[in-house]
Structure 1
Amino acid sequence: MYRERLKPTDPPPPPPPPGITVETSPMRHSASNRREGEPQTRAFIDAALKKELWDARYLSDDLNDLMFRSYISTELARDVLEGLLGADMLTVHKVVNGRKQDVRKGTRDAAIAIKNAYERALVHGCKRDGLEQAKSPSKSRDCDDVAWNWSWKGFPKAPLKERALVDYLNTIVDTALGLSCMKNRKPLYRFAVPHDTHHAYPLSHEPDKADSRPDFVVLPIDAFEKHEETGSLTIYEPKKEWQNFTMVRLTGECKNSDDTAGVHQVQRYMRDTRRAQPWLRFVTAMAVTREVVNFVRGDGSGMERVRMRLQFGRSCLEFVRMLMAVALCEAEVFGKNSHIGLATQALTTRVVVGTSQAETSTSGAAASEQGQSSDAALTTSAQGSIHQSLSSARSSAQSSTTHLVPPPDTHASRSSQRSGAITASSGRVTRSSEKRRRNNEDDANLMPPPPAKKEVHEEVRLMVQVPTTLFGTFEYEGLLFTGASIRGRGTVVFVVHRKSTPSVKVALKLAWQDVARKPERDEVLEILSKNPHHENVLVPKRVQVVEDSTLRTIRAFTQSEVDADDMMIEDRILEVHETELRRPVRYFWSVNDFVLGLRGAVLGHLYLLKIHILHRDVSENNVVLACIPGQPRGCLMDFDMAVRYEARERPTSNAKLAFQKRPNNSASQESHKGPFKAERTGTIPYMSVNVLDGQEHTHYDDIESFFYILVLFFVSYRGPLLMSDLDAAGKCGFRQVLGSGRAQNVCDWPAIFKPWSESMSAAADAKAALRSEDHSLKFTNSIAEDVIELWGPELSPAIGDLIVDCLLLFQAAPHRVSHEQFIEVLDKWLKAHPAPPDGCNNCPFTDSEGRPYV
């Protein structure tokens, strides 16, 4: 079997208004997989999804045939369509030379219309090897021009309402199941309307509470209870406890006319579904209008959809096939990994029940002017300015007030040009969960909304799906990490144990890796296997699984089609690795615990450099801490982006790079052939300025990323979790509690750090300004305010010393700070602060004298 050549989807949407920047050159990581502290409102997620799906959205006429032909054949779909026509669910008009004639059921014209729809469906279906391709049906000999116009009787009229649409879709399915051609087939799923349309659908991606509210969902038949019977049809009502993202088969949006807007909207729901159901290989959704139905599928390579215009016979046939497949097919047809077992169990969790303030916005232009008005350059030296800010922080700690030092004016430089993108305010981004209005549902509010009203929660009982056995070897214990994205690696980390060793918890990582980078990954793992183990490097062990490819398995392209020059999307394969279980940074015990862990990760990176490996994705998620005292405190993990590397003593200057001839120049001229391969790797908030600017990635850039981990850490948390919470987390393997949202000590990034996650260019500008001796005072003022607010007067002076010393180091040598230099600063701080102040260490382990370990 092979596919019809994919057609690029509709022209990309117009550029977003000021306030959101969408890159024309996408990152290789999943742009919508944002950190908890980053802005999570609808506008930011929409912009991130546009970036993530850049050049990866396609129209696929044969999508329904590919997915459902083995279960609902074209012939069966034709018979169902004919039966629905006979049941007066549809009408057909014959248009001859512009004149419309009614077609009665059971007539010769009705049979010709059905045949025409069937033949056209065959033409647009998947091609099978060894079978002659169906030809396009010929026009009638009796007239010059014949067309068949179809319409669905009783289809809800505008304005299209959710419940009316759901009732109609279920009526189509129920009527079809009553036909003789569908005898003995029982529905497994039904369409439903969310129980609460004013708040986020339960178990959506926390903390994305702003707008994750699908208009309709598809739930298992067990989620419904029978109320009454009318004639031969049974009336079903969904149970409230089954309504959550772990149970949905697909999500949907209804629009009056703009089906493209509906497709863009369901992308967010698909993202949330994939995160809530990490066992899915792909996710599906629907966008419905009066005239058009879109069925969408998203996998690690992007998104494809079939667009069905309900006035055409072929589209009606495919619409019927899709509805029957939604109701009848097993979970594997809609993306469930067959090697992961699932069970349904009860869960008690908290959901929002109160209303909160609606999102409002400030125009991007106004924010830009506000930022520029307070962005004058400095004449004082960097060191003096920074220590002045630190002095302000210390005095503020004593008086419980904050004081900002206004920067004086001076001449502009490269950094001053960059600083225009920085917002001076240190306010924090908040979210709201107000129901969107129908008359402006597609107008994204771009700037952070004002603080939301306090949310009211209630405890509810939910029925949820959870894994049981994975790949026949591992028993599920919990979820450690799951990414929120459609395209990309879609990394998921489970806490599991092998059946043979139930007392030993390990981490099992699943990721959809780019096939083009497999040789690089294999080479890195081979280097690691041939060199001695280092205590600060967490080496993964590959788990052998049946090959699963986005293009060759899910989308059913042949190898020759995948290798073709005009195949513009990347192929990804599922790779599974097992590693030792370690403690994520968010479960840190104290500031000293974090600094020791960061120091260990830097030592691990230094070892990798010695054995000729460059990590290229240094971020907080890839630094882990010891589970118990006595283990190496910090480790570096995740080698998805790592490559073999020969270090230079000094990086090549940008000026010299301009004169160097790039290798394989002919290949770069052919860069538009085949899928896009970005040269920049990493996670934007942690990427170095040079990498963000498109320069060569060196180990110095990774060291700079460690510095950004340190800075962002102190504005992402408000101290450690309670000792009891840390103890409980360690005992359960640090697994996430489903529905609990983000931890209580996590906070939103200050607005001044918002550009670090908006785009590569904005992040490069903001970070260059931070490292500039002339413009860093504004950052240190803002950081000082936030550190005092988050960490209190006991810790903020010590934290200020650490941040300032590291900043001065990177200002003095912005492009070539060595491992030894960075470790020296950390060691100096640890020597000056060997233990946290009393009451500032929540380590759940104590020494012989009953004191918490440092």
Structure 2
Amino acid sequence: MKRELENQHVARAGKRTSCSSSSSTTSRKPTSSTPPIPQAEISGVESSNTTRQTTPEPSADPPKPNVTPKRRTSASIETATTKGDTMRQDIQHELIDAIRLATEASNESFNVFDAVKLLVQKRHLVPPKGSSLQKAINDPSMVGWRWRQKPDPFKDQAVADFLNQVCACLNGQSILRSFATPEFRAAYPLLYGYEHGREDLRPDFILLPKEAWLQVNRCQELNQAFNNYQKCIVVGECKFTDVNEARWQLYKYIRGLKRSQLWRRFAVGVYITQSTCGVVRADQSGIEYTDFAWSETSTDVIKFVRLLNWLSVGSLESFGFDNTFALVPSQRHTSRPPNGKTIRTEYTGCDIASITCGSTKYLVDSLLYNGVAIRGRGTKVFRVHNEDDTAKANPKALKIMWQDTGRVHNEAYFHELARSRGVQNVLLADETCHYTLSDTINGIRGFDSVGGYCRKFHVENRQETRLVLPYHQPLKYFKDLDDLVRGLLGAIKGHRSLYEASILHRDVSERNVLLNGSNGLGEGWLIDLDMACLVEDRDDQAPSTPEPDSRKSRKRRGGPLLDGTPPRKKPVRRESDKAANETADLYSTSSKSAEESEGFKGPKTGTVPYMACGVLRGEEHSLKHDLESFFYVLYLIPFTYDTPFQGRQSSKGIPEVINNWCRGDLQQCGDLKKGVMGTPDRMLRLLTEQSAKGWRDEPEIFTQYLGLLWKLWKVLLPVAWAFSFDSTNISHEDIIQPL
């Protein structure tokens, strides 16, 4: 968690780093409030001195807001760069402007100046002494404002009550949601991936929909069944003074929110201290935030009023909800331990009923994989079937991910190229089953100059892509050891077929290996070409070509190209491939303008637990690294699952040695993994002493498994883990033969 959060793309103001936020989360120094925004940017159309004099009457059914942020151009970015506080000003502009548009559209009668007057009239807000209300509102720098019911003490429930009072005054019966606090000082319910939850992932306060409240004796009472991660709209954190700590803790809640609500394009959080209020928005490019002193100047008060109006009446789309997902309520049970006792409680959650892609509606059967995090691809895979397939006779797998547009070719390109070159044992999507949606930098953040923005701030632009594939069971459902081996064997043959077609996979992991159908017969499949790349001329890239022993004298003799790097040689393009390649080029980001195709691109390839030692230590990804990753797929099975038999469950604890392969600096991870894998005694002892007990209790199966693993280890030792490389010769046949 910590390493993931440290890579959240959070940038320190005034510096350019590989980040997407306005301030560093790794720094623990208190940050000052954001620099003031020009009045026109703060108040928008309400910046005129002419304001309405009547108290607004909130609409009972507010129209759906248009939440598209104001578009930014490369010129406006360059202007901000000269001011020194580049990232913070851009993000502040975007978030505040998005809130302005949301609040204005959510209620046609809403006027921020009239709203401030209403708060003064209702004795929630006290204006500066010695000045008329009109003059105080029109003067952005006027100080002396005071909230009459400001939380005291500054605790969770007091903060939630204060926010609700202001929101109710602003919108009355038109309010769509309200603030609440978790019911117990325990884990917040329905957090995906944790059966009993984690207490440190419990927000201080949350924003829940209107239906979460019941009318009891003329009072509104919270229905605690709605008080969970799947129902909350916004998560919140309050601290007395520590802004950095509040923001850091909020990132954890946002990660839980995104993983628990797979229908979100992005997630929103709010943090508040006695002097500062902030908004965090997290999409798959990373985190961006803005904060301000919420009660000092007229500008601060206006921002705070706008923020609360948006939170209470803004549309769900403005909080990241994707309207192509159709949701239905569901009942979930969880155990909670208040006061030392375990109580089984029923909560109202959400299930995804259907997902619409283009003109096709897919009904959802189950969730197959959830890889959503703060940033990155955020892959999620569902088992689905067509709406008219009532018998569910033709199940499919719907894969939704956010691809890095900085890569030269996207996944759809490689699907078309592999199909045209007759690749076998790899699941490929048909052209009609590929859907491209909006991106993060333009579609969510509202910047027109995507390439310039990404290069300037080292932010990855990610585009939502959906692929529909034939459904096959994941490798974890293998029936016996033979079934496991057949699945792995088919995937290796699929990798070989790709490699012969000048495509290197570069993301071999357990989740990318599938079994062959429900009967368990036949060899398996390889999936996921999101990290794939073209290799150079195959005459220059024979698998058996050795490399020099000396690292200093080692030179490139072919091999895979890093995405975004111009090739020294073009891949082989046979005449028979011409038509297919012309079609595939339609899906390639290389057809974009030079500015777009040169955007920032993250360098990592692979899934960390399965990544080869050499890749972790900085070597360029090549064939031998993928073959090493196949070994880890087999090696980690007894640590991942509790038994070799069907009905297996995920193991409750992974050995610390293996956990350390995935923590901290990647170079260090590679060194630790190589230290274990390069020593046969340590490699085998880890298995025989710390793998799941259910495997070790079946000596016949476990012995067969160890024998197979030992054969593969001896094949890979000279090229993967030896401390002095005697050979780099390895081919697919070397791995296939023991299987």
> How far apart are 1:600 and its partner, in Å?
1.2
> How far apart are 1:59 and its partner, in Å?
7.0
> How far apart are 1:457 and its partner, in Å?
6.1
> How far apart are 1:708 and its partner, in Å?
1.0
Change (3 A) 1:210 1:819: farther
> How far apart are 1:205 and its partner, in Å?
3.3
Contact 2:279–2:291 at 8 Å: present in 1 too? yes
Alignment-derived partner of residue 226 in structure 1: 215
Secondary structure (helix, strand or coil) at the match of 2:263 reads coil
Alignment-derived partner of residue 204 in structure 2: 215
Which one-letter code corresponds to 1:70 in the other structure?
L
Correspondence 1:822 to 2:708: no
> How far apart are 1:781 and its partner, in Å?
1.6
Q: C-alpha distance in 1, partners of 2:304/2:351?
A: 28
Contact 2:479–2:520 at 8 Å: present in 1 too? no
Q: C-alpha distance in 1, partners of 2:632/2:271?
A: 40
Moved over 4 A (4+): 5-8, 55-59, 560-565, 656-664, 673-676
Correspondence 1:303 to 2:303: no
Q: Deviations over 1:3-26 (max 9, x none)?
A: xx997523442599xxxxxxxxxx
Q: C-alpha distance in 1, partners of 2:28/2:554?
A: 34
Instruction: Choose from 235, 257, 261 the match for 2:241.
Output: 257
Q: Mind listing any 5+ residue stretches in structure 1 that lack a counterpart? A: 17-54, 94-101, 118-145, 179-184, 230-234, 357-454, 726-742, 827-854
> How far apart are 1:515 and its partner, in Å?
1.0
Q: Deviations over 1:737-761 (max 9, x none)?
A: xxxxxx7343322112122111312
Correspondence 1:318 to 2:298: no
Q: C-alpha distance in 2, partners of 1:706/1:169?
A: 53
Secondary structure (helix, strand or coil) at the match of 1:509 reads strand
Instruction: Choose from 514, 526, 540 the match for 2:429.
Output: 540
Q: C-alpha distance in 2, partners of 1:86/1:618?
A: 64
Alignment-derived partner of residue 360 in structure 1: none
Which one-letter code corresponds to 1:194 in the other structure?
P
> How far apart are 1:147 and its partner, in Å?
4.2
Change (3 A) 1:522 1:481: closer
Q: Deviations over 1:541-562 (max 9, x none)?
A: 3545463110111111113674
> How far apart are 1:511 and its partner, in Å?
0.7
Alignment-derived partner of residue 176 in structure 1: 170
Secondary structure (helix, strand or coil) at the match of 1:812 reads helix
Q: Deviations over 1:135-182 (max 9, x none)?
A: xxxxxxxxxxx7423232221134x2111111111000111124xxxx
Q: C-alpha distance in 2, partners of 1:508/1:651?
A: 41
TM-score with structure 2 setting the length: 0.76
> How far apart are 1:78 and its partner, in Å?
2.7
Instruction: Choose from 694, 700, 703 the match for 2:624.
Output: 700
Which one-letter code corresponds to 2:550 in the other structure?
A
Q: C-alpha distance in 2, partners of 1:661/1:644?
A: 15
Alignment-derived partner of residue 650 in structure 1: 545
> How far apart are 1:631 and its partner, in Å?
5.1
Q: C-alpha distance in 2, partners of 1:561/1:810?
A: 41
In the TM superposition, what are the counterparts of 1:757-796 in structure 2 within 5 Å?
757-759=662-664, 760-772=666-678, 775-787=679-691, 789-791=693-695, 792-794=697-699, 795-796=701-702
Secondary structure (helix, strand or coil) at the match of 1:754 reads helix
Alignment-derived partner of residue 638 in structure 2: 714
Secondary structure (helix, strand or coil) at the match of 2:183 reads coil
In the TM superposition, what are the counterparts of 1:26-41 in structure 2 within 5 Å?
none
Correspondence 1:156 to 2:145: no
Contact 2:167–2:309 at 8 Å: present in 1 too? yes
Q: C-alpha distance in 2, partners of 1:315/1:632?
A: 66
Change (3 A) 1:547 1:658: farther
Which one-letter code corresponds to 1:538 in the other structure?
L
Q: C-alpha distance in 2, partners of 1:266/1:307?
A: 13
> How far apart are 1:591 and its partner, in Å?
2.4
Q: Mind listing any 5+ residue stretches in structure 2 that lack a counterpart? A: 1-11, 15-20, 30-85, 567-596, 721-727
Instruction: Choose from 228, 240, 246 the match for 2:230.
Output: 246
In the TM superposition, what are the counterparts of 1:401-800 in structure 2 within 5 Å?
456=342, 458=344, 460-471=346-357, 472-473=359-360, 474-502=362-390, 503=392, 504-517=394-407, 519-534=409-424, 536-541=425-430, 543=433, 545=435, 547-559=437-449, 562=452, 565-629=455-519, 632-646=522-536, 647-648=541-542, 649-650=544-545, 652-653=547-548, 655=550, 660=555, 676-720=600-644, 722=646, 725=647, 744-759=649-664, 760-772=666-678, 775-787=679-691, 789-791=693-695, 792-794=697-699, 795-800=701-706
Change (3 A) 1:228 1:561: farther
Contact 1:552–1:562 at 8 Å: present in 2 too? no
Q: C-alpha distance in 2, partners of 1:15/1:700?
A: 42
Q: C-alpha distance in 2, partners of 1:798/1:819?
A: 22
Secondary structure (helix, strand or coil) at the match of 1:111 reads helix
Change (3 A) 1:111 1:786: same
Secondary structure (helix, strand or coil) at the match of 2:508 reads coil
Alignment-derived partner of residue 200 in structure 1: 188
> How far apart are 1:579 and its partner, in Å?
0.5
Which one-letter code corresponds to 1:749 in the other structure?
I
Contact 2:719–2:729 at 8 Å: present in 1 too? yes
User: Please, which moves more after superposition, 555-564 or 511-520?
Assistant: 555-564
Contact 2:409–2:533 at 8 Å: present in 1 too? no
Change (3 A) 1:564 1:590: closer
Contact 1:56–1:303 at 8 Å: present in 2 too? no
> How far apart are 1:341 and its partner, in Å?
2.2
Secondary structure (helix, strand or coil) at the match of 1:650 reads coil
Q: Deviations over 1:744-792 (max 9, x none)?
A: 34332211212211131232112211332xx342332222113473311
CA RMSD in angstroms comes to 3.2
Secondary structure (helix, strand or coil) at the match of 2:738 reads helix
Secondary structure (helix, strand or coil) at the match of 2:409 reads helix
Change (3 A) 1:59 1:243: farther
Which one-letter code corresponds to 1:551 in the other structure?
I
Contact 1:613–1:644 at 8 Å: present in 2 too? yes
Which one-letter code corresponds to 1:83 in the other structure?
L
Percentage of matched positions with identical amino acids: 26
Which one-letter code corresponds to 1:201 in the other structure?
P
> How far apart are 1:711 and its partner, in Å?
1.0
> How far apart are 1:518 and its partner, in Å?
5.4
Which one-letter code corresponds to 2:509 in the other structure?
S
Q: C-alpha distance in 2, partners of 1:618/1:482?
A: 17
Instruction: Choose from 73, 92, 95 the match for 1:61.
Output: 92
Which one-letter code corresponds to 2:204 in the other structure?
D
Q: C-alpha distance in 2, partners of 1:569/1:560?
A: 10
> How far apart are 1:633 and its partner, in Å?
3.3
Q: C-alpha distance in 2, partners of 1:166/1:15?
A: 26
**Larger RCO, structure (CA 8 Å, separation 6 or more):** 1
Alignment-derived partner of residue 46 in structure 2: none
Q: Deviations over 1:327-360 (max 9, x none)?
A: 11221111111222223x232423333688xxxx
Change (3 A) 1:71 1:210: closer
Which one-letter code corresponds to 1:689 in the other structure?
C
Q: C-alpha distance in 2, partners of 1:216/1:755?
A: 34
Which one-letter code corresponds to 2:202 in the other structure?
R
Which one-letter code corresponds to 2:26 in the other structure?
P
Which one-letter code corresponds to 1:655 in the other structure?
S
Change (3 A) 1:477 1:228: same
Q: Deviations over 1:342-381 (max 9, x none)?
A: 23x232423333688xxxxxxxxxxxxxxxxxxxxxxxxx
Alignment-derived partner of residue 9 in structure 1: 22
> How far apart are 1:287 and its partner, in Å?
1.1
> How far apart are 1:239 and its partner, in Å?
0.8
Change (3 A) 1:463 1:812: closer
